[in-house]
């Protein structure tokens, strides 16, 4: 991690949610809310770019009154300010079935995100009746996680990240938060150079790398800190508020 000499003018702030905007209790600290309002008052666009689905992100989005774009499921879906769907890139249901079978073989916890719900450690009777966006494994055993990683990589057609050290998140190949942000900046007429992205996990690396100013949380995985332009405080120390005030305002 090396901090650039000059921070670009920030016109858009992209925030991850879990481990970043939210504290360890899954709440948005009041200081983060205040800093987001300060940024909006300065005319800076603030968007959430999360691994969550819209269903599980919506309450926080509404509470912030962002009235902005929303990137969900690691970039699989993009919603407009009015809640209209702008883009959706699904995962083939046959691939989802294969990953579910993989989780059964290795006896792991898993979750799967369809367009209308999140399935936790269960799948519908006919997987092929649904449109899917992501599959996730939660694996505490390092050896098992490595073996599943290898099997997933051998497919050659999957985007593989994580949102914690014990999980694996799988999207369609080429889907990431940076691609989602790029689509939003194209609509708004903003350069990626004028984006500040803040995150903590592997699913945030693409947006941190490709934004003009990428920030890792103090609680971020080491590789994320090494990728970022700078590191802020942890998610329990108002790291998002500190970053907004230090580099965007």
Catalytic residues: 16
In the structure encoding, which two tokens stand for residue 225, read together? 């800190």
Task: Give strand ranges (E) for the chain.
Answer: 12-15, 45-49, 70-72, 77-79, 85-88, 109-114, 118-120, 132-138, 158-161, 167-172, 195-199, 213-216, 230-231
Residue 83, sorted as left (phi over 0), alpha (psi -120 to 50) or beta, turns out to be left
CA–CA gap between residue 201 and residue 224 (Å, rounded): 6
Do residues 201 and 221 touch, judged by C-beta distance below 8 A?
A: yes
Instruction: Identify the three-state secondary structure at position 88.
Output: strand
- Half-sphere exposure in the Cβ direction for 48 (13 Å, CA): 31
Do residues 227 and 221 touch, judged by C-beta distance below 8 A?
A: no
């Amino acid at each position: 991690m090396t901090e650039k000499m000059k921070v670009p003018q920030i016109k858009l702030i992209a925030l991850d949610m879990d481990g970043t905007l939210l504290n360890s209790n899954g709440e948005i600290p009041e200081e983060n809310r205040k800093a987001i309002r300060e940024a909006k008052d300065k005319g800076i666009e603030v968007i959430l770019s999360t691994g969550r689905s819209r269903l599980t992100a919506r309450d926080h989005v509404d509470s912030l009154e962002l009235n902005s774009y929303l990137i969900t499921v690691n970039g699989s879906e993009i919603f407009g300010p009015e809640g209209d769907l702008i883009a959706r890139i699904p995962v083939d249901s046959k691939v989802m079935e294969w990953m579910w079978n993989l989780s059964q073989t290795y006896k792991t916890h898993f979750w799967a995100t369809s367009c209308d719900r999140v399935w936790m450690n269960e799948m519908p009777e006919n997987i092929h009746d649904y449109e899917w966006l992501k599959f996730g494994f939660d694996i505490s055993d390092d050896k098992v996680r490595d073996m599943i990683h290898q099997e997933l990589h051998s497919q050659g057609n999957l985007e593989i990240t994580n949102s914690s050290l014990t999980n694996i998140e799988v999207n369609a190949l080429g889907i990431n938060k940076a691609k989602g942000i790029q689509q939003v900046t194209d609509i708004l007429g903003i350069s990626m150079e004028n984006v500040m992205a803040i995150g903590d996990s592997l699913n945030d690396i693409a947006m941190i790398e490709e934004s003009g100013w990428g920030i890792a949380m103090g609680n971020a995985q080491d590789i994320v800190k090494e990728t970022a332009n700078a590191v802020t405080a942890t998610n329990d120390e108002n790291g998002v508020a500190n970053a907004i005030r230090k580099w965007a305002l």
